[in-house]
Amino acid sequence: MSFIVKKKISGKEYFYLRESKRVGGKVKAVTICYLGKTKKEAEEKKKEIEEGLKNKEVIQKDKMVEEKEQKELTIEDVASFCKRKGFIFRSSDIYGGFAGFWDYGPLGVELFNNVKKEWWNWFVESREDMEGIDCSIISHPRTWKASGHLTSFKDIAVVCRKCKKSTKIDVSEKGKVKCDCGGEYEEQGEFNLLFKTQVGALNAGDAYLRGETAQGMFMNFKQVMEASRQKLPFGIAQIGRCFRNEIAPRDFLFRSREFHIGEFEFFINPQETKCPLLDKEHLNVKLNLLDAETQEKGEEDLKLYTIGKMLKANKFGEWHAYWLAEQVMFFLDLGLDEDKIKVREHTKGELSHYSSATFDLDYLYPFGSKELAGNANRGQYDLTQHEKESKQKMEVFDSITNEKVIPRVIEPTFGMERVFLAVLVNSYYYDKKRDNIILKIPAKLAPYKAAVLPIIKKGEQGKIAKEVYDDIRKMFHCFWDEGGSIGRRYSRQDEIGTPMCITIDEQSLKDKTVTIRDRDTTRQVRVKIKELREVVRKVVEGESILKLGKEVKTRVK
Ligand code: GAP
């Protein structure tokens, strides 16, 4: 049975179609698709979906085919698609590549910029209590002594005695884990992940490329608070390149040696346990939790929790709960499938040297459910360490309690390449009927927002098409394609996720209208040229193309 559910994300309402089905003895509800932002829109779309597909069997059959095809997607398929379409290239490809390093191509840089823009907007621009910064990649070498990275930021290199594959394990996994093939590991030694470099010409000294952006936020904490006139609690955020000399880079972008972290340190009075921002919406955020106790028993069963239930179970405090909820909400807003997100609590033995409680947000990539983002309670660890090492006071005045304190810190962290990869995998869809890949990416993330495809490139039609293109691209990244059949041109845009294709035809000359084809349904509407910019804007904000013009019948889908 399918039904509509409403979700509130950051004050905005979103409607989804869900379906309940019996699995074993239990009834499970799964999300089928996003329906829109109003109840009316959602009801209309639900009706369309139910009418369009003749009966439940067809829905089931199509879903099974779709699931099968999605399951067969490998990370190698994704990498080769990214290369072919210009999203990601191997770094130094002409020299055979360089393990752990990647280059963004023309489409990749657009998609990545859009992902970063959404992150920055969600966590920085739309908030009063967050300040953004951008720090240097190389900082004083004592940074890494104080942070503990010089002594504790290590992995162990191992080689499997049976299949001879080399990989890395965490220090906490020493002697406890085996290779996937069942073979025992032979340890090759501990390696620090920080990249070392030399700074200066004469009397050059050792320095390190940053392994996380966090230290920039800790070292600048007092200056930022003062300059921006913030009060506790508040946060400092940045997105930037990080470097880790990974023992075994693998799974395409997932484990690289150079990548971007987007993270923020949220500073709170250590006595403050209440979070006034934690509301019903946060408490009701649902998640599949793999808790520490279950893992300690060697099991992997997920438990369905809400943030509210985790709080009641004393899994964490209110601020930690609030930020974990915000992270999940951000991922849902990017369109990630909630059933593919899992929250994994770190066991005591695997906690980083700076954390007293950590939760990973894992995403179901083609190679398994793996860490997409993290959320750690860093307490007062870093500020206290920098105070000791630099001999500079790190305490600040809390104007609410009238006391000087060293704040405690909650740190949500995101591997931005992993978000990029999750968005790609989540939207990569092979459409059997169209025999083509459709990148069903949310319009706000799409590299091109629209493509202009003139039916006839010369004469008056060509002139109007060029004017339309020149006008739209002043505001939106837009593609011009006059080469090949119209069907082929549509397919090329579907593959790279362009949400709308605009065509100019004979009727455009008569009534100054154009047709817009919707990527996901191939249906088309006709709109006035003078309204085009506004239509594109609405689509980028998430409105359905089909609601923005009069639907027209077409031969070419
Ligand atoms: N400041 C906290 C911190 O750095 P982390 O879990 O070590 O925490 C942050 O790294 C995020 O960076 C992770 O959640 C993961 O998404 C991403 N990440 C870590 N190592 C990575 C690698 N080698 N390649 C790509 N992303 C990585």
Residue pLDDT, tens place only, 475-484:
999 999 999 9
Q: Is the Cβ atom of 417 under 6 angstroms away from ligand 1?
A: yes
Locate the ligand 1 atom nearest the alpha carbon of residue 376 and give its number.
2
Distance between CA atoms of residues 89 and 510, nearest Å: 45
Substitution candidate for ligand 1 out of 210, 371, 419 with most atoms within 8 A of CB: 371
Q: Is the Cβ atom of 346 under 6 angstroms away from ligand 1?
A: no
Distance between CA atoms of residues 361 and 413, nearest Å: 10
Q: Is the Cβ atom of 450 under 6 angstroms away from ligand 1?
A: no
Distance 235 CA to ligand 1 centre (A): 19
Beta strands 500-504 and 513-518 are antiparallel
| pLDDT score at 502 | 97
Handedness of CA 108, 114, 115, 116 (dihedral sign): positive
Spacing of C-alpha 48 from chain mean position:
30
| pLDDT score at 51 | 65
What digits encode the pLDDT tens for the residues 229-252? 999 999 999 999 999 999 999 999
Cβ–Cβ < 8 Å for 374, 169: no
Distance between CA atoms of residues 252 and 166, nearest Å: 17
Distance 52 CA to ligand 1 centre (A): 44
Q: Is the Cβ atom of 114 under 6 angstroms away from ligand 1?
A: no
Distance between CA atoms of residues 310 and 175, nearest Å: 32
| pLDDT score at 66 | 52
Q: Which two tokens stand for residue 415?
A: 């591997």
**Amino acid in position 235:** G
Strands annotated E in 269-394: 286-290, 303-306, 341-345, 357-365, 368-379
Q: Is the Cβ atom of 261 under 6 angstroms away from ligand 1?
A: yes
**Amino acid in position 139:** S
3-state SS assignment for residue 430: strand
Distance between CA atoms of residues 36 and 433, nearest Å: 25
Q: Is the Cβ atom of 518 under 6 angstroms away from ligand 1?
A: no
Distance between CA atoms of residues 73 and 61, nearest Å: 19
Q: Is the Cβ atom of 246 under 6 angstroms away from ligand 1?
A: yes
Substitution candidate for ligand 1 out of 75, 250, 353, 413 with most atoms within 8 A of CB: 413
Distance between CA atoms of residues 486 and 456, nearest Å: 10
Distance between CA atoms of residues 216 and 453, nearest Å: 47
Distance 256 CA to ligand 1 centre (A): 10
What digits encode the pLDDT tens for the residues 329-375? 999 999 999 999 999 999 998 898 888 899 999 999 999 999 999 99
Distance between CA atoms of residues 408 and 378, nearest Å: 7
| pLDDT score at 68 | 47
**How buried is 393 (Cβ within 10 angstroms: 0-12 exposed, 13-18 middle, 19+ buried)?**
exposed
Q: Is the Cβ atom of 244 under 6 angstroms away from ligand 1?
A: yes
Substitution candidate for ligand 1 out of 112, 155, 362, 418 with most atoms within 8 A of CB: 418
Distance between CA atoms of residues 244 and 256, nearest Å: 8
Angle at 525 between CA 520 and CA 526, to 5 degrees: 150
Whole-model pTM?
Answer: 0.87
Spacing of C-alpha 471 from chain mean position:
31
Beta strands 341-345 and 357-365 are antiparallel
Which backbone phi and psi does 178 adopt, to 5 degrees? -120, 165
Q: Is the Cβ atom of 375 under 6 angstroms away from ligand 1?
A: no
Contacts of 343 (CB under 8 A, 6+ apart): 287, 288, 289, 290, 305, 324, 328, 359, 360, 361, 362
Cβ–Cβ < 8 Å for 56, 50: no
| pLDDT score at 16 | 81
Q: How many CB atoms sit inside 10 A of residue 182's CB? A: 9
Distance between CA atoms of residues 240 and 414, nearest Å: 11
| pLDDT score at 59 | 45
Q: Is the Cβ atom of 373 under 6 angstroms away from ligand 1?
A: yes
Protein residue closest via CA to atom 27 of ligand 1: 415
Q: Which two tokens stand for residue 515?
A: 């047709």
> Any bridge partners for residue 414, and if so which?
262, 373
Please confirm whether the linkage preceding 366 is cis (ω < 30° from 0).
no
Distance between CA atoms of residues 143 and 112, nearest Å: 29
Protein residue closest via CA to atom 3 of ligand 1: 212
Q: How many helices (H) and strands (E) does the chain have?
A: 18, 29
State which residues of the chain have pLDDT below 50: 53-62, 64-65, 68
**What is the DSSP track for 28-72?**
EEEEEEEEESSHHHHHHHHHHHHHHS-SHHHHHHHHHHHHHHHHT
Stated length of the chain:
557
Beta strands 26-36 and 88-90 are unpaired
32-59: string of b/e by CB count within 10 Å (b at 16+)?
A: bebbbbeeebbebbbeeeeeeeeeeeeb
Substitution candidate for ligand 1 out of 261, 266, 359, 369 with most atoms within 8 A of CB: 261
Cβ–Cβ < 8 Å for 472, 532: yes
